[in-house]
Each structure stands twice: as C-alpha cells, then as structure tokens.
Amino acid sequence: MGNGTKKVLILGSTGSIGENTLDIIRQFPERFKVTGLVAGKNSEKLKKQMEKFNPEAVALFEGELETPVGVDFYSGEEGIKSLIQDIDFDIVVAAISGASGIIPTFESAKKAERVALANKESLVCAGKFIKAVAKELVPVDSEHSAIFQALLSGKKEEIKEIILTASGGPFRGKKLEELKDVKPEDALSHPNWDMGNKVTIDSATLMNKGLEVIEAVWLFDVPVEKIKVVVHPQSIVHSMVRFCDNSFIAQMGKPDMRIPIAYALSYPERLPLPDNLGMEFYEMSLTFEKPDLKTFKCLRLAFEALDRGYPYPIILNAADEVAVNSFLKGKIPFTAIPEVIEKTMDILNLSSPETIEEVVSIDKLARETAEKVVQSFLA
C-alpha cells in the first residue's frame, strides 16, 4: 500500500479487537481514518464510537440505530454487504467473532488492499475462498502475527516447524476428572488475556489453539505436519518458527492485542507505541510444556478435522460454537464440549464445498446437527 492516510473499515467494532483497533487509530489520526463500523447488537457502544470517530457508515447485525445526518446506517447481513459495497476503504479489520464473520470478511476482502485478519473462523471454514480474493492478508491474532514476523527471517522452504504457543488457559495442569464441575465463570477467568466469551472458553478447552493450527495451514501454506503446539503459560513468546538450521526465531512482548493490531495496520512499518505496552527483559520468566491432549481433547479434534479433510474444519467450528454456547447457558457440562463436537463430526459425511455459499450451508447443517447432539445430552 502507498503512503498517506489509510481508510479503515472495522468489522466487529464493539468487541475487544475492535475497541483496541480504535485505540490505535485514535493515537495515529494522521495515519488512519475510520470510514465504516460494523457491530453485532451493541448499539450504545456503537453510538459512542460514531461520536468519536465520525465514520461515513455504520451497521448492526441486529437492531436499529438513530444516526446523525451524514452517516449512513445499514442493518442485517444484507445491509452489511451493502455497506461494504458502498464505502471506500483501504484496510478491513475482520474481527467479527465466529462463523457470522465469514461472509463479511469474504465480501470486504474483494475490495480491501489489506485484510487485517482477526476472525480465525474465516480461514478455518473458507480459507481457499478468502485467499483467492484477498490482495493481502496480515494476521492480527498474536500467534499468527508472531509467525508472520518470524517468517521474515527465512525462506518458506527453510521452515522446519511452526510452533504455536498456548497459555494453557485457566485449567492448565488439571486432569479431566477435575473439570467435571467447572462453572462458566471459572472458564471465563483467563490468566493473561482479556477477550470475548467465546474465545475465552475456547482458550480454556484449547480449541482456540486447534482453530489457530487450521488457520496457520491456510495463512502460511504449510502442511499440518510442520505445525506444533506448546503450552507457554506466561504468554510472552507469542509463537516461533524453527528453521532448517535449527534456529528458533520468536516474537515476544507483553500480552496486549494493541501490539499485533498496530503491526497489521502499519506493516511493513512499525508504529511507536507507548512504553506501558513494553516490558523489561529481566521481568520475563519463560517456561514451556507439552499440551495434554487427553484432558484437552478439543486440540486433538482440530488436528483430526484437518486429517479428515474439508469440510470437517467447518463442522468442527460450527459444533464448537454450539457446544460453547450450550455450556455458557448451563445446558451441558464443560467436559461435554469436545463430546458434542466429536459426535457431530462423526454423524456428518459431507463433500467439500465448491462455493462460499456452500460453506454457509454446511455451517448451518453442522449447527443443527450439534443442537440435536446437545439435546441428547439433556435427555
């Protein structure tokens, strides 16, 4: 991308990634201008964002909003598609949580000079379609941002392995039998990161890392055999690459999403961020552990979905969203989350999607199937 002020569309502006993105934009008004904001249903927060950043257009997935003169308002999935078509933007920050972000990410990727990607489900479910239309993909997830940066140190053919780090979540070191009575508030208490409910539960089950493995396959075009996961409870080494000479190149820093967001917006430059986002090297204490695939079965299921081939990652993701939502509503125990996913994957035998619309159809069918599996737990 050339120099000058970049126009930014934020998909998922009221979530944690969206708010952190706006914080970066606020610090660099000469570099970035918000042209569009898309939110789920948090109209009050969206109103405050409009007042501060004066976008051309805003949208809600659900609900209505009174907008001042000069601001266009759109509603629902079709409305969001129209917003994407109607406004100009250089960068789209794709931060809608879950599968509902797939179509908006795909549609905006057709127009944007750069997709700053935080919605991992887009690549998990529709990687080949989004990569086919995106001019440039720069990851926002701290782990993939770390890998993206580490890969600048070598050639693709020199990669020995990509190592994704996982915090281990709130239940690191626990055994399966210790997790039977876990309450939602326990699982939502993440030791290092402040994230939305779905991502936080996925971190507690290690499904978040499983989805990141699938995303890494698409982002970096590497076989799954070259991707490893290691538990690193301090979340300071965000991920690393081991090259053929056995050198490890790691990206390290404070666990704060504003750092990878800023890099995704400004790449290949780096923005001067405030000192409170830094840390002294002598403050760091680094440990690494093997993940426990018996207790945290979701991570194993993600590798299994890749082994089975497409569309199993779509089924895995859809079933996980249903299972997590059911756990948060008290319908199933925490330990049933991987069981719902595995049963849904075993029930469905579908062929690989040929269009983005077929991705959405498979996602819908997998959700319906997972809901039936949840009902069998309640029976």
Known binding-site residues for Mn(2+) equal: 141, 143, 212
Binding-site entries for NADPH: 14-17, 40-42, 119, 121, 196
Binding-site entries for 1-deoxy-D-xylulose 5-phosphate: 120, 142-143, 167, 190, 203, 208-209, 212
Binding-site entries: 14-17, 40-42, 119-121, 141-143, 167, 190, 196, 203, 208-209, 212
> Beta-carbon neighbour count of residue 309 at 10 Å?
9
Q: In what side-by-side order are the strands of the sheet with 114-117?
A: 72-75, 57-60, 32-39, 6-11, 91-94, 114-117, 137-139
Pair of tokens at residue 209? 């890392």
